[in-house]
Amino acid sequence: MARRSLMTDPDIPFYVFAAVIGAAAMHAGWNAILKIRIHPFLAANLVAFFAGLIALPALVWFGFPARASWPYLAGSITVHIFYYWTLTEAYRHADMGQVYPIARGTAPLLTAFFSVLVLKEPIGLIAACGIAVLGAGIVYMAKAGGNKLADMNPAGVRYALLTAVIISAYTVFDGLGARAAGDAHAYIAAYFVIDAVSVLAMSLLRFGARDVWASFRHSAAGFAGGAMSLGAYWISIWAMTIAPIGIVAALRETSVLFAVGISTLILKERLSLARVLSCLLILGGIVLIRL
């Protein structure tokens, strides 16, 4: 029934809409964890490790997904390794309030184009207008409201844009993989457990056992981030088995507003008028895509 409505009705049920909004808030929350006082990649490893640990009982309960989903799962795990690298490098060079709107705002633009051109999922005129508005918000953010580009770290912007491309890639992998899995919950649980192992291996190779072990003094923050990461992505991938991938991906990016709030109120990053206007444009585009 869900698959049939997915192909014939591009709308999204209200309960799915509300769930993805909640996922957006959790996503912004775990990204804030990456700004704790250790190397961002080690922070990302903590988040991935605890997310995998929490997901392990679910994998035992649901079992592995159908074999048809395994190529998508492998592709997603591979792409996610690059995602952790580009995202953490972006946070090393720029503020969360800068990186997050660019990375998360550009991703649905790319995903929407892929959904139309490759997946043949429908996007109407209003959604196309939303894509244009979203793109305008990204350009405005990139130019910092008309200020000199020196006000933004160029390396941070480049890594944020590269992160957006990777987000679009793994969103498509996981959306299709969850549909092919037979049970979306089995797919998601398997993803988080395997991802935890792969990111831990990358951290050990890059930093060594001593630094990785030392990072676990921040286990409380890592557990909180892992729980939010697990909840946010679990909801999003489940939603993609009910509604079109492009719509869910766009709606998920309302997290930019939660990220701006976190970066301003908790991380004490500067909130400029340009940043506010850029996020409003991005949000306006996302709302139009939703409509």
As a whole number, the mean pLDDT across the chain is 80
In this prediction, residue 151 carries a pLDDT of 57
In this prediction, residue 142 carries a pLDDT of 59
Read off the tokens for 113.
């184009």
Number of helices and strands in the chain (H, E): 13, 0
User: What's the number of CA atoms in the CB half-sphere (13 Å) around residue 264?
Assistant: 12
What's the Rg (C-alpha) of the chain? 18
Read off the pLDDT of each residue in 166-190 and give the average, rounded to a whole number: 91
Using the predicted structure, report yes or no on whether residue 52 has a pLDDT greater than 90: yes
DSSP 118: T
Using the predicted structure, report yes or no on whether residue 62 has a pLDDT greater than 90: yes
Read off the pLDDT of each residue in 188-195 and give the average, rounded to a whole number: 94
Q: Quick check: helix, strand or coil at residue 78? A: helix
Using the predicted structure, report yes or no on whether residue 76 has a pLDDT greater than 90: yes
Band of residue 39 on the pLDDT scale cut at 50, 70, 90 = confident
Q: What range does the domain containing 117 cover? A: 2-290
In this prediction, residue 277 carries a pLDDT of 82
CA distance 284 to 7: 26
Read off the pLDDT of each residue in 225-243 and give the average, rounded to a whole number: 88
Task: Give residue 89's region: left, alpha or beta (phi > 0; psi -120 to 50).
Answer: alpha
Band of residue 8 on the pLDDT scale cut at 50, 70, 90 = very low
| Cβ(238)–Cβ(185) below 8 Å | yes
Question: Residue 26 CA to chain centroid, in angstroms?
Answer: 10
What angle do the packed helices 219-240 and 154-180 form, to 10 degrees?
50
Burial class from Cβ neighbours inside 10 Å (0-12, 13-18, 19+) for residue 115 reads buried
Task: Give residue 271's region: left, alpha or beta (phi > 0; psi -120 to 50).
Answer: beta
* Domain count for the chain: 1
User: What's the number of CA atoms in the CB half-sphere (13 Å) around residue 71?
Assistant: 3
Using the predicted structure, report yes or no on whether residue 9 has a pLDDT greater than 60: no
Band of residue 11 on the pLDDT scale cut at 50, 70, 90 = low
Q: Measured between alpha carbons, how far is residue 153 from residues 74, 98, 106, 107, 172 in Å?
A: 33, 9, 18, 20, 29
Using the predicted structure, report yes or no on whether residue 147 has a pLDDT greater than 50: no
Share of the chain above pLDDT 90, in %: 26
Using the predicted structure, report yes or no on whether residue 261 has a pLDDT greater than 70: yes
Read off the pLDDT of each residue in 193-213 and give the average, rounded to a whole number: 94
DSSP 32: H
CA distance 128 to 134: 10
Residue carrying the six token digits 């933004």:
152
Using the predicted structure, report yes or no on whether residue 104 has a pLDDT greater than 50: yes
Q: Give this prediction's pTM.
A: 0.77
Nearest of 162, 270, 213, 230 to residue 38 by alpha carbon: 213
Band of residue 7 on the pLDDT scale cut at 50, 70, 90 = very low
Instruction: Choose between 31 and 219: higher pLDDT.
Output: 219
Using the predicted structure, report yes or no on whether residue 143 has a pLDDT greater than 70: no
Band of residue 10 on the pLDDT scale cut at 50, 70, 90 = low
CA distance 91 to 37: 12
Phi, psi of 13 (to 5 degrees): -60, 155
